[in-house]
């Protein structure tokens, strides 16, 4: 096995992981640990909603991590898949935290705390409804940048994720993202607004990054096994002194 990949925000839905929760005690144990760390029942929100609460990024982030860690452990313990023999672990955005937990670098409790704080910091940076993200399909990153360059410069609209050749995510203020969406429709290009509560991975998140710096630096990380592919460098990382600042 070459790699194990973990998802990020936008993959959440009410009831996710319910089949694993009902069937496997280890999943119940993971959910219980997450609930205890947070001091409220995130598991109830995951399994029962409401969707509006699950969509809040301070809930979404630890929720997706909890599901990823749960499925990873079910595959290891009940299906005899030695996933830690993979050459790399990687995760999309918050999925990198999931990867670090599964690689033994972060405890479940520490990742839960950091992701909840990360979500609160991100939501505080931009009020709900004021930002947006759009995934653009079938265009190169250069062509997407050209579309952004045609927009008014007074509002923030930036490339957030270069997911693949033909899938680029743009983040920024909602009004200008909606203008970009309409421009794409007129040109018969496909853009999908993402179900997120804040515009991640753009300069609007600067205050969130500053708030998370000390929290991450003061958290004990162990060397991951296997190594992690960083979202920032797209390279193999094994040194926690490099991994930590790349998470900020």
32-68, pLDDT tens digit by residue?
999 999 999 999 999 999 999 999 999 999 999 999 9
The pair phi, psi for residue 195, each rounded to 5°, is: -80, 70
Using alpha carbons, select from 133, 151, 152 the residue that is nearest to residue 205: 133
Contact 121, 67 (CB under 8 A): no
Using CA atoms, how far apart are residues 17 and 46, in angstroms rounded to an integer? 8
Q: How confident is the model at residue 245, as a pLDDT?
A: 97
- Please state the rounded mean pLDDT for residues 118-137: 95
- Please state the rounded mean pLDDT for residues 128-155: 96
Residues identified as active-site? 93, 201
Considering only residues 68 and 153, tell me which one the structure prediction assigns the higher pLDDT.
Answer: 68
Using alpha carbons, select from 2, 127, 8, 116 the residue that is nearest to residue 59: 116
Q: How confident is the model at residue 92, as a pLDDT?
A: 94
- Please state the rounded mean pLDDT for residues 113-129: 95
Could you tell me the pLDDT band of residue 128, with boundaries at 50, 70 and 90?
confident
Contact 84, 225 (CB under 8 A): yes
The token pair at 98 is 């999931």
Using CA atoms, how far apart are residues 248 and 245, in angstroms rounded to an integer? 5
Q: How confident is the model at residue 80, as a pLDDT?
A: 87
Q: How confident is the model at residue 87, as a pLDDT?
A: 94
Our CA dihedral for 205, 198, 49, 78, rounded to 10 degrees, sits at: -60
- Please state the rounded mean pLDDT for residues 161-187: 96
Q: Which residue has the tokens 């609007």?
A: 204
Using CA atoms, how far apart are residues 5 and 122, in angstroms rounded to an integer? 24
pLDDT (tens digit, 9 = 90+) per residue, 177-234? 999 999 999 999 999 999 888 999 999 999 999 999 999 999 999 999 999 999 999 9
Full set of structural domains in the chain with CATH: 3-125+207-246 (3.40.366.10), 131-196 (3.30.70.250)
Q: How confident is the model at residue 10, as a pLDDT?
A: 86
Strand, coil or helix: what is 237?
strand
């Amino acid at each position: 096995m070459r790699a194990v990949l973990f998802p990020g925000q936008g993959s959440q839905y009410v009831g996710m992981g319910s089949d694993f929760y009902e069937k496997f005690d280890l999943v119940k144990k993971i959910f219980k640990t997450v609930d205890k760390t947070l001091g409220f029942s995130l598991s109830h929100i995951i399994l029962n909603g409401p969707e509006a609460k699950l969509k809040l990024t301070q809930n979404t982030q630890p929720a997706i991590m909890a599901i990823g860690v749960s499925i990873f452990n079910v595959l290891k313990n009940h299906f005899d898949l030695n996933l830690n023999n993979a050459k790399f672990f990687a995760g999309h955005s918050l999925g990198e935290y999931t990867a670090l937990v599964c690689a033994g670098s972060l405890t479940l409790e520490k990742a839960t705390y950091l992701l909840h704080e990360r979500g609160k910091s991100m939501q505080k940076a931009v009020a709900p409804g004021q930002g947006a993200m759009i995934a653009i399909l079938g265009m190169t990153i250069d062509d997407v940048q050209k579309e952004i360059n045609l927009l008014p410069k007074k509002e923030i609209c930036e490339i957030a994720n270069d997911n693949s050749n033909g899938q680029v995510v743009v983040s920024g203020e909602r009004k200008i993202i909606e203008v970009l969406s309409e421009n794409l429709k007129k040109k018969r290009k496909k853009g999908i607004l993402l179900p997120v509560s804040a515009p991640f991975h753009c300069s609007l998140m600067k205050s969130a990054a500053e708030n998370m710096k000390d929290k991450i630096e003061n958290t004990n990380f162990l060397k991951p096994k296997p190594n992690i592919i960083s979202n920032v460098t797209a390279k193999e990382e094994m040194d926690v002194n490099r991994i930590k600042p790349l998470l900020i």
